[in-house]
Chains A and B, each alone.
Chain A
Amino acid sequence: GAGVSQTPSNKVTEKGKYVELRCDPISGHTALYWYRQSLGQGPEFLIYFQGTGAADDSGLPNDRFFAVRPEGSVSTLKIQRTERGDSAVYLCASSLKALGSGETQYFGPGTRLLVL
């Protein structure tokens, strides 16, 4: 597609449930990033993929969060046993390559997650 797409646009779930958030990067972009944006804050880094592998997952808050990118394109962010504090907008971004090149990251519209 022309840009980064994310599904669903909005997700409402109950505390303790499992959720999956999907990101479709721009075709040909090898680097993919997940960020979390809480209300009134700037986005915060969660995880970075170069190809299929997670090159840096240091931003994941705990082991309830996990992300995959099995074929080096689409990525899924998975949250187990959701908590109310997980409520936020989850943003995905992709870039042509990373590796210190300073390539621009292009963002999707985000998924707004609300945990009741």
Chain B
Amino acid sequence: AQTVTQSQPEMSVQEAETVTLSCTYDTSESDYYLFWYKQPPSRQMILVIRQEAYKQQNATENRFSVNFQKAAKSFSLKISDSQLGDAAMYFCAYRRWQGGSEKLVFGKGTKLTVNP
């Protein structure tokens, strides 16, 4: 079964600094998709970044980038030049495709605090 593990329940970073959130996953599939979602107190899950497993190049979106290590099944998120608005819960998710069904499997999340 696919599982997603986020080993850091909480992280903090100073404004303008860089922080890395960890995520590991377990799968027997060779082709899959990985996502990072941000959930502020408003509850809305917002896509931060996605990575296709068949792509060797790490995905980047402005200040957000990932370090995708396929062999190690690791998918960490790096936030550069942290801003106060980055404070939120961050969830790593694995896209599971099986038997005609598609679903996301989420980790338990990491709460990120940004200190001014």
Contact = CB atoms under 8 A, between A and B. Distances in A.
Please classify how large the interface on chain B is, using the bins under 10, 10 to 19, 20 to 34, 35 or more: 20 to 34
Interface of B: 4, 32-33, 35, 37, 42-47, 50, 52, 91, 93, 95, 97, 99-109
Contacts of A44: 106
Interface string A86-116: 0001010100001110101111111010000
A48 B101 contact: yes
Interface residues of A, number: 29
Given A41-B108, A42-B91, A106-B47, A56 B103 contact: yes
Interface of A: 31, 33, 35, 40-45, 48, 55-56, 58-59, 89, 91, 93, 98-100, 102, 104-110, 112
B106 A112 contact: no
A13 to B, nearest CB: 19
Contacts of A106: 47
A104 B102 contact: no
